[in-house]
């Protein structure tokens, strides 16, 4: 029950004299489980699409300014206000072409950032305003992801993207969306989720959808423990049967750290750790919505030390002005993480993905571990070059 090491032992010694460089962080293979399609558009694309469809309510019409507007508007300290910014992105994602373009660029951008596997979520019910059906939305996004994977490959990056279909928790279409997710499970959709304002909308409102997915042996995650605390996490796990927790960061409320450093887990926190329930942690997003007060205070530091199944995620790259590399860089600066820590988070994420076990294992053994081994060996060669230079100067 106690763990007092400042940085958790990862089982391997940290190579090299210092932490990873920004370039190594970008090149390191990364796995992303929690990223919203409608929260990751390029600002320039929002502007292009708004022009195409005649949407004239954008607060800015110049890409840099619009990007800044999203970041500042989302920086409100409240999940509800953070979510208001999605009205603009959803407004321009109403046609097949727009959805396919946004999905393709998403895959391209993630691949360029070194993400090798991503599960990207969106709520099909929010893209029906111009007359598309739920199925047409799913097919357009899938087509975009495949196109993005192809473009990334042509550019020398390999990425695999799976879709998660989200139902909005204030609405009443969860069962219908779950059925679509199930229908497309062998066609690009790897699972289901619920999102939106958490307080006042407990996950048990959508129990029928979760029970249906369980009967179908399908997978789902639930946004819980972000805008609301332990009761939401408890319901998501013990009533709904979630495979993973979207955020889950407020599990910290069930962990006591005594003045002498001793750590005591409550029953729910112990359950989450014992059952290896994956936590899709999104540090920057949590700062913006008020779920954490600073990077240094973010529970990820303690959760990593206590060996929870913690993963690092972006949530909304546009609203949080972030990327997987940026999230890792911030954690490296704050907690002194090494490539071993990055590998630990990445393997955690890959183990927790919704694709079949053999494919997850192959990604870990054939892509992630060799990728980190390669990066960890680089400092040796840097050292050799410096040393031999020194030697030859000395004659």
Ligand X SMILES: O=c1[nH]cnc2c1ncn2[C@@H]1O[C@H](CO)[C@@H](O)[C@H]1O
Q: How many residues does the chain have?
A: 395
d(CA 180, CA 174): 10
Tokens of 22: 């920004």
- Using CB under 5 A, which of 113, 315, 327, 341 touches Zn ion? 315
> β-pairing, 255-257 with 263-265?
antiparallel
Per-residue mark of binding to ligand X, 344-383 (x: CB under 6 A): ----------------------------------------
Q: Which of 74, 55, 29 is nearest to 317 (CA)?
A: 74
Structural contact between residues 278 and 244, judged by C-beta atoms closer than 8 angstroms = yes
- Chain position whose Cβ is nearest to ligand X: 195
Of these partners, ligand X, Zn ion, none, which one is at the site of residue 338 (CB under 5 to 8 Å by kind)? none
Which region, judged by CB under 6 A, interacts with ligand X, from 12-20, 82-90, 294-302, 324-332? 82-90
Q: Which is nearer to ligand X, 79 or 353 (CB)?
A: 79
Of these partners, ligand X, Zn ion, none, which one is at the site of residue 236 (CB under 5 to 8 Å by kind)? none
- CB of 289 vs ligand X, minimal distance in Å: 7
107 conformational bin, left if phi > 0, alpha if psi -120 to 50, beta if neither: alpha
Is 315 within any annotated ligand binding site?
Answer: yes
**Which among 139, 226, 327, 329 is annotated as catalytic?**
226
Is 71 within any annotated ligand binding site?
Answer: no
- Using CB under 6 A, which of 47, 83, 213, 332 touches ligand X? 83
Is 113 within any annotated ligand binding site?
Answer: no
- CB of 227 vs ligand X, minimal distance in Å: 7
Q: Which of 101, 99, 102, 93 is nearest to 55 (CA)?
A: 93
**DSSP secondary structure string for all residues of 247-298:** E-GGGGGGEEE-TTS-EEE-HHHHHHHHTT--EEE-HHHHHHHTS-S-TTT-
For 351-383, give one letter per residue: b (16+ CB within 10 A) or e. Answer: bbbbbeeeebeebbeebbeebbeebbebbeeee
- Any contact of residue 195 with ligand X (CB under 6 A)? yes
Is 108 labeled as catalytic in the residue annotation? Answer: no
Is 260 within any annotated ligand binding site?
Answer: no
Using CB under 5 A as the criterion, which residues of the chain lie in contact with Zn ion when the complex forms? 315
Binding residues are: 34, 36, 38, 196, 223, 315
Using CB under 6 A as the criterion, which residues of the chain lie in contact with ligand X when the complex forms? 36, 38-39, 79, 83, 86, 90, 121-123, 126, 166, 195-196, 223, 226, 285, 315-316
Binding residues for substrate are: 36, 38, 196
């Amino acid at each position: 029950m106690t763990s007092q090491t400042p940085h958790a032992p990862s089982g391997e010694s940290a190579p090299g004299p210092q932490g990873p460089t920004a370039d190594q962080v970008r090149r390191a293979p990364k796995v992303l489980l929690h990223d919203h399609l409608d929260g990751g558009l390029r600002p320039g694309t929002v502007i292009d699409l708004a022009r195409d469809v005649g949407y004239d309510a954008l607060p800015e019409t110049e890409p840099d300014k619009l990007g800044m507007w999203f970041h500042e508007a989302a920086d409100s300290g409240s999940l509800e206000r953070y979510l208001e910014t999605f009205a603009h992105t959803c407004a321009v994602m109403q046609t097949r072409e727009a959805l396919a373009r946004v999905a393709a660029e998403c895959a391209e951008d993630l691949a360029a950032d070194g993400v090798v596997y991503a599960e990207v979520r969106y709520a099909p019910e929010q893209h029906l305003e111009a007359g598309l059906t739920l199925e047409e939305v799913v097919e357009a996004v899938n087509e975009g992801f495949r196109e993005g994977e192809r473009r990334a490959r042509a550019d020398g990056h390999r990425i695999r993207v799976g879709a998660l279909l989200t139902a909005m928790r204030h609405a009443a279409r969860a069962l219908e969306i779950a059925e679509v997710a199930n229908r497309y499970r062998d066609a690009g959709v790897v699972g289901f989720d619920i999102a939106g304002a958490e307080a006042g909308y407990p996950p048990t409102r959508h129990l029928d959808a979760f029970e249906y997915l369980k009967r179908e042996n399908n997978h789902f995650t639930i946004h819980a423990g972000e805008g609301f605390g332990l009761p939401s996490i408890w319901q998501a796990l013990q009533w709904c049967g979630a495979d993973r927790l979207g955020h889950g960061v407020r599990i910290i409320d069930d962990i006591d750290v005594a003045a002498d450093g001793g750590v005591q887990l409550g029953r729910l926190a112990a359950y989450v750790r014992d059952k290896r329930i994956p936590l899709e942690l999104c540090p920057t997003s949590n700062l913006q919505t008020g779920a954490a007060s600073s990077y240094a205070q973010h529970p990820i530091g303690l959760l990593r030390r206590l060996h929870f199944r913690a993963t690092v995620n972006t949530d909304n790259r546009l609203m949080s002005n972030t990327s997987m590399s940026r999230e890792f860089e911030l954690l490296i600066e704050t907690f002194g993480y090494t490539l071993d820590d990055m590998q630990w988070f990445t393997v955690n994420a890959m183990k927790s993905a919704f694709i079949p076990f053999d494919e997850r294992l192959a990604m870990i053994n054939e892509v992630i571990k060799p990728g980190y081994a390669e990066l960890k060996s680089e400092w040796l060669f840097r050292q050799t070059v410096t040393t031999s230079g020194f030697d030859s100067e000395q004659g």
